[in-house]
């Protein structure tokens, strides 16, 4: 098969579409002929040498894909050769073939094309596990989603609205905020001009849940923005990893700070990728199947233009996901 290989670590130019050994499905795994692969911010870090794959995972970049099951490993019962699926991966998505644990597959609903489906598993797993399984977001609560125009943000807005929560978002441009509003966001905060702490306190007595991509840069203000009993969930460190936490301020609100990722979770057991995908399949997937929650795709590029796709994501000019087409779906 062919896959994106890295000629050293560095800029987008280190990626090359080249021959690679075919992966072989092991016990509980399936082989997928990849139709498309989603591009994630983590992929940029891996390309730069700052986010190595977990032990045992493919060295090939790519945390999610869609495609057709081509082969079943031993012990796989719930899936058939020929099924249209999308998969949460620990790596390997930027390739013509990838193996995935059967427990990390989701069926592609009728009517959804495989290109769009490739952009769903990572955002669905991240958003559902953090907003719902970790922070317990529920109807009537106020959630603040930083980076509302990101791949994660555009999905999180829709999920939060489907739960009946009120949604505040930050973004860096009026145009992105306008599009966040179209997805259902009600409180629009341009982080270049407006103070998000003041904005959520003007709306309510703070945010019950904050989904944060900025880490250290927003830590103190996120605590200020929390409502009593609020949950701050840090999923990204675009503003640094080391910050100062005022425990007094957190304690006075009976608040909680979580920091989580999906990729390094165990495959099975408590808090695992299999557990998240099972919850996503049960609770979120019916909303994807009936169109309540739709993939937001900024651009689809051929896999041979993976470098251009990374430049596009790095530019910050995207709204939603960037997807790489590996073969015609």
Ligand X SMILES: NC(=O)c1ccc[n+]([C@@H]2O[C@H](COP(=O)([O-])OP(=O)(O)OC[C@H]3O[C@@H](n4cnc5c(N)ncnc54)[C@H](OP(=O)(O)O)[C@@H]3O)[C@@H](O)[C@H]2O)c1
Positions touching ligand X (CB under 6 A) are 40-42, 122, 126, 146-147, 149-152, 170-173, 176, 191, 213-214, 235-236, 238, 260-262, 313, 316, 318
Q: Which is closer to ligand X, CB of 1 or CB of 42?
A: 42
Distance CA 180, CA 319 (A): 9
Shortest Cβ 267–ligand X spacing (Å): 15
Least spacing, CB of residue 222 vs ligand X, in Å: 11
CB of 33 to ligand X, least distance (A): 25
Nearest distance from C-beta of residue 178 to ligand X, angstroms: 12
Smallest distance from the beta carbon of 182 to ligand X, in angstroms? 15
Q: Which is nearer to ligand X, 40 or 90 (CB)?
A: 40
CB of 281 to ligand X, least distance (A): 18
Nearest residue by C-beta to ligand X? 236
Distance in angstroms (rounded) separating the CA atoms of residues 254 and 246: 13
**Given the complex with ligand X, which of 26 and 316 has the nearer CB atom?**
316
Question: Smaller CB distance to ligand X: residue 237 or 245?
Answer: 237
Q: Which one, 103 or 134, has the nearer CB to ligand X?
A: 134
Cβ proximity to ligand X: between 47 and 84 the closer is: 47
- Separation in Å, CA 242 to CA 41, 42, 214, 215: 19, 18, 11, 8
- Cβ proximity to ligand X: between 15 and 152 the closer is 152
Question: At closest approach, how far in Å is the CB of 42 from ligand X?
Answer: 6
Q: In whole angstroms, what is the distance from residue 218 CA to residue 253 CA?
A: 17
Residue (152 or 159) nearer to ligand X, CB: 152
SS in 3 state form for the chain? Answer: CEEEEECCCCCHHHEEEEECCCCCCCCCEEEEEEEEEEECHHHHHHHHCCCCCCCCCCCCCCCEEEEEEEEECCCCCCCCCCCEEEEECCCCCCECEEEEEHHHEEECCCCCCHHHHCCCHHHHHHHHHHHHHHCCCCCCCEEEECCCCCHHHHHHHHHHHHCCCEEEEEECCHHHHHHHHHHCCCEEEECCCCCHHHHHHHHCCCEEEEEECCHHHHHHHHHHHEEEEEEEEECCCCCCCCCCCCHHHHHHCCCEEEECCCCCCCCCCCCCHHHHHHHHHHHHHHHHHCCCCCCCEEEEEEHHHHHHHHHHHHHCCCCCEEEEECCCC
Report the nearest approach of ligand X to the CB of residue 79 (Å). Answer: 25
């Amino acid at each position: 098969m062919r896959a994106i290989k890295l000629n050293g670590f560095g800029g987008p130019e280190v990626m090359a579409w080249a021959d690679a050994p075919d992966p072989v499905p092991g016990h509980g795994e399936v082989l997928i002929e990849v139709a498309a692969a989603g591009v994630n911010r983590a992929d940029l870090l891996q390309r730069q040498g700052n986010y190595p794959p977990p032990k045992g995972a493919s060295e090939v970049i790519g945390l999610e894909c869609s495609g057709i099951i081509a082969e079943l490993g031993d012990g796989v019962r719930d899936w058939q050769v020929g099924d249209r699926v999308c998969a949460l991966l620990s790596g390997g998505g930027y390739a013509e073939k990838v193996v995935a644990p059967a427990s990390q597959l989701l069926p592609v609903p009728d009517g959804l094309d495989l290109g769009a489906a490739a952009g769903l598993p990572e955002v669905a797993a991240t958003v559902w596990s953090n907003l719902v399984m970790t922070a317990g977001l529920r109807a009537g609560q106020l959630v603040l989603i930083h980076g509302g125009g990101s791949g994660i943000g555009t999905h999180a807005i829709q999920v939060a609205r489907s739960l009946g929560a009120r949604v505040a978002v930050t973004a860096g441009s009026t145009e992105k905020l306008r599009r966040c509003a179209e997805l259902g966001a009600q409180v629009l905060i341009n982080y270049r001009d407006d103070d998000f702490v003041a904005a959520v306190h003007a709306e309510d007595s703070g945010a019950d849940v904050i989904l944060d991509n900025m880490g250290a840069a927003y830590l103190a203000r996120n605590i200020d923005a929390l409502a009593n009993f609020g949950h701050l969930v840090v999923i990204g460190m675009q503003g640094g990893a080391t910050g100062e936490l005022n425990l007094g301020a957190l304690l006075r609100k009976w608040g909680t700070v979580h920091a989580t990722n999906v990729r390094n979770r165990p495959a099975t057991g408590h808090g695992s990728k299999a557990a998240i995908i099972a919850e996503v399949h049960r609770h979120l997937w019916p909303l994807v199947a009936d169109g309540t929650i739709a993939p937001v795709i900024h651009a689809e590029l051929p896999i041979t233009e993976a470098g251009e796709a990374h430049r596009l994501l790095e530019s910050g000019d995207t709204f939603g996901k960037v997807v790489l087409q590996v073969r015609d779906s």
